[in-house]
């Protein structure tokens, strides 16, 4: 089964959002940074503070933590969108083909074959199907690429079947 998709910067924005939030690496870096920041924040302020002072410090710390996480999210998104180009095969027309042995992506500048064993995870949202080959390497398939829900369900069933078969054989 084969489909044609036009990938836009908006598609990359949503993909980056999903990947950034669900990435184990991003989560681990955020946790370590927040713990380090909390340690410094509470050490500098002393540990013999009143309950009100501790609640205040905790609120300020959490506010800063959210700002830092948001800052890195914005930087990541700007980097992805700023470097995206049709010349690199990220934007524009993509052809995705589901075969017995794997998944094939073709653009004007590249062709990539991913065996079913190379797929890390499938994520289906309201607008997209993401086929992950690593935590931050993702094929983006907008659901708008299908003329009917039945067509999408058929495509998804074939992808899920190949993925499930490879996962079952690996265990």
Q: pLDDT per residue over 102-155, tens digit each?
A: 999 998 888 999 999 999 889 888 888 999 888 767 888 999 999 998 999 999
Ranking 67-71, 80-84, 116-120, 162-166 by mean pLDDT, the lowest is: 80-84
Where do the H-state alpha helices sit in the chain?
Answer: 9-22, 24-45, 51-83, 149-170
User: 157 or 66, which is more confident?
Assistant: 157
Other beta carbons within 10 Å of 114:
17
Q: Is 70 exposed, middle or buried (0-12, 13-18, 19+ CB in 10 A)?
A: exposed
Query: Which tokens sit at 145?
Result: 């690429």
Q: Looking at residue 45, what is its pLDDT?
A: 63
- The DSSP call for residue 96 is E
Q: Specify the residue for token string 């069933």.
A: 157
Question: Is it the case that residue 44 has pLDDT exceeding 70?
Answer: no
């Amino acid at each position: 089964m084969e489909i044609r998709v036009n990938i836009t910067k908006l598609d990359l924005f949503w993909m980056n959002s999903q990947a950034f939030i669900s990435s184990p690496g991003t989560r681990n870096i955020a946790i370590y940074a927040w713990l380090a920041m909390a340690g410094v924040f509470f050490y500098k302020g002393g540990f013999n503070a009143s309950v009100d002072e501790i609640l205040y410090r905790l609120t300020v710390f959490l506010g800063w933590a959210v700002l830092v996480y948001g800052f890195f999210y914005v930087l990541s998104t700007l980097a992805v969108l700023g470097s995206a180009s049709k010349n690199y095969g990220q934007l524009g027309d993509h052809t995705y083909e589901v075969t017995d042995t794997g998944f094939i992506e073709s653009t004007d500048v590249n062709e990539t074959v991913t065996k079913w064993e190379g797929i890390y995870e499938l994520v289906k949202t309201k607008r997209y199907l993401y086929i992950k080959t690593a935590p931050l390497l993702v094929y983006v398939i907008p659901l708008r690429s299908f003329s009917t829900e039945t067509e999408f369900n058929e495509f998804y069933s074939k992808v899920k079947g190949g993925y499930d078969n490879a996962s079952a054989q690996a265990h």
